[in-house]
Amino acid sequence: MTWKRDVRDVPLLPALAVALPLLLAAQTIEEQEWHLDALDIYSAQDQTRGDGVIVALIDSGVDAKHPDLAGRVLPGIGYGSSKGTDGTTDPDGHGTGMAGIIAATGRNGGALGIAPGVKILPIASAEKEQFSLDVVAESIRWATDNGAKVINMSLGFSSSMTPTLVKAVNYAIEKDVVLVAATGNEGKEVSAPANIAGVIAVAGTNREGKPWKSSNIGADTAIAAPAEGIVTAAPQAVFASGYAEMDGTSAASAIVSGVAALVRAKHPQMPAKDVVNVLIKTAKDMAEPGRDETTGFGMVNPMGALTAQLPPVERNPLLPPPKPSTTATTPAVAAQQNPVQPIADISDRLPFVGAVAGGTALMTGLLIALPAIRSRRPRPQATVHVLPPFSGRDTPPTPW
C-alpha cells in the first residue's frame, strides 16, 4: 500500500500551477464525490434518504463525533481489542470511511452519503493482528438480533468459508436481512464472506465505468459499483483534514449497502429477498447480457431499483435452487445443502490486514488533485474546503 501523491509534489505547467489551486479551492468535499453524479444519487435521494433503516457496519468502528456523521451512529459493540466498547470510536479510519459513504449528511459542504437518513450500527474490532471468520459470524448474528436491515461487510478473507459463517449468513437471510460484501482487491477469486450464497458480492469499477483492475472476480460476483478515488469522511485522529480518498471494493460494497437501504426505506414492507432481486434485476449490464464474473449483473442502478415494479420472488435469487425433496426446505437449509465451492484454503484465521487486502485498499488523507464533477444540486451555503495537507505520517496506517 502506498500514499497517493499530494498535488503539490506534482510538477505543473506555470498556467496550471496558478489555476489548479483555485479550482480545488472552489470545490466542497461533496463536489469531489464523483460517484454521486455518476450514479444519479441526487435523484434517488429525492425519492428517499433512507430514514428508518439501520445499516450494520462490521469494521474498525465509526467516529461518531465526526461532523458529517453526527446523529447517524447508534451504540454498537466491540470484539477483540475493542471488546467492552460500543464501536463509536475508530482508531483505524476505515470504518468511518465506510460509514461516510453510506450515511454522511453533507452538512456545510462536507461528505454526503448514499443514504444520509439511515442509522449506522457499528460492530468494531480494532484488533489488527487477528480478525477471524468466526468473529464476523458472531457480528452478523448480533447485527441481525439488534435491528439491522442491511449488513455491510467491507472486508474479505482469502481462507475458506467456515460452517459457522455460512450458518450466520443463513440466519440473517431467514431474519429478513440484506447482506452486502466486498469481493476483494487482489485481482483473484471472490473472497469470503462475499462468496457465500445469498450475499450480494460487490466488485469495483473505475471512473470510466469500466471494471476496476484490482477487483476480485468470479462466478459469485453479483453487482458492481464505483471503487476508485472515492472521497469520504475520516477521523481527524487518523487524517487531520477529516476526509480521505480511497480505492477498493470496500467502497463499492458501502455504496451498494447505501442503495439497499434506500430501497428498504422507500418500500418498508418489501422482504429482503425482493430487495436483493430488484438490485440485481435493475443493474445496468456492463458486459455480455446476463451475469458475468467481472461485474455480476452490472452496475448498481439506484433510480432503477427505487422505481422498478417487479413481482415478488419466492427466495433470495442469489441462493442456489432447492434440492428436490418430499419435505419443505427453507432457503437457509438449501444454502447449506448446496454450498458455494470455497476458494483455496490458506488458513482458518488470517491477519485482518491480509483479509482486507481482499476487502479494501488505499486510503489517503488528501483529496483528488483534479476537478471532480460538480454536484448538480445547488448548495449556496456550502463551506469551501481547500485541499488539506498530508497528515505528516511517515508510513500509511494499516488499511482495512
pLDDT of residue 127: 53
pLDDT of residue 26: 55
pLDDT of residue 145: 98
Residue found by looking up cell 432503477 in the block: 304
The reply to whether 35 belongs to the active site is no
**For 107-128, how does the pLDDT look when each residue is reduced to its tens digit (9 = 90+)?**
888 999 999 999 999 999 855 5
Cell of 396: 500509511
Cα atoms found within 13 Å of the Cα of residue 181, Cβ hemisphere only? 28
DSSP symbols for 72-137: TB---EEEGGGTTS-S---SSSHHHHHHHHHH-B-GGG--B-S-TTSEEEEEEE--SS---HHHHH
Q: What CATH number corresponds to the domain at position 221?
A: 3.40.50.200
Do the bridges between strand 150-153 and strand 54-59 make them parallel or antiparallel, or are there none, so unpaired?
Answer: parallel
291 C-beta neighbours (distance < 10 Å), count: 17
- The reply to whether 182 falls in a domain is yes
SS3 per residue for 179-232: EEEECCCCCCCCCECCCCCCCEEEEEECCCCCECCCCCCCCCCCEEEECCCEEE
- Residue 335 burial by CB count (10 A; 0-12/13-18/19+): exposed, middle or buried? buried
Domain count, the chain: 1
- The reply to whether 384 falls in a domain is no
Q: Which of 59, 68, 90, 247 is catalytic?
A: 59
**For 327-336, how does the pLDDT look when each residue is reduced to its tens digit (9 = 90+)?**
555 555 444 4
Q: Which of 60, 154, 158, 250 is catalytic?
A: 250
- List per-residue pLDDT tens for the chain, 400 residues long: 222 322 222 333 444 444 445 445 558 999 999 999 999 999 999 999 999 999 999 999 999 999 999 999 999 999 877 888 899 999 999 999 999 999 999 988 899 999 999 999 999 985 554 457 889 999 999 999 999 999 999 998 887 788 999 999 999 999 999 999 999 999 999 999 999 999 999 999 999 999 999 999 999 999 999 999 999 999 999 999 999 999 999 999 999 999 999 999 999 999 999 999 999 999 999 988 899 999 999 999 999 999 999 999 999 999 998 887 645 555 554 444 444 433 232 222 222 223 433 444 456 665 433 333 333 444 333 333 333 332 322 233 333 3
Alpha-carbon span 363 to 239, nearest angstrom: 10
Boundaries of domain holding 357: 32-364
CB 195 within 8 A of CB 201: yes
Angle in degrees, CA 11, 12, 16, rounded to 5: 165
Residue found by looking up cell 475508530 in the block: 90
- The reply to whether 311 falls in a domain is yes
- The reply to whether 371 falls in a domain is no
- The reply to whether 46 falls in a domain is yes
Do the bridges between strand 230-233 and strand 178-182 make them parallel or antiparallel, or are there none, so unpaired?
Answer: unpaired
Do the bridges between strand 243-246 and strand 363-364 make them parallel or antiparallel, or are there none, so unpaired?
Answer: antiparallel
- The reply to whether 377 falls in a domain is no
The reply to whether 9 belongs to the active site is no
- The reply to whether 187 falls in a domain is yes
- The reply to whether 3 falls in a domain is no
Alpha-carbon span 329 to 303, nearest angstrom: 34
Alpha-carbon span 198 to 173, nearest angstrom: 7
pLDDT of residue 14: 43
pLDDT of residue 10: 30
Q: Determine the residue type at 232.
A: T
Q: Report the DSSP beta bridge partners of residue 73.
A: 120
Residue found by looking up cell 479550482 in the block: 23
Give percent of the chain above pLDDT 70: 73
Closest CA to 400 of 137, 94, 91: 94
pLDDT of residue 161: 83
Cell of 92: 483505524
The reply to whether 92 belongs to the active site is no
Q: Which of 63, 66, 68, 94 is catalytic?
A: 94
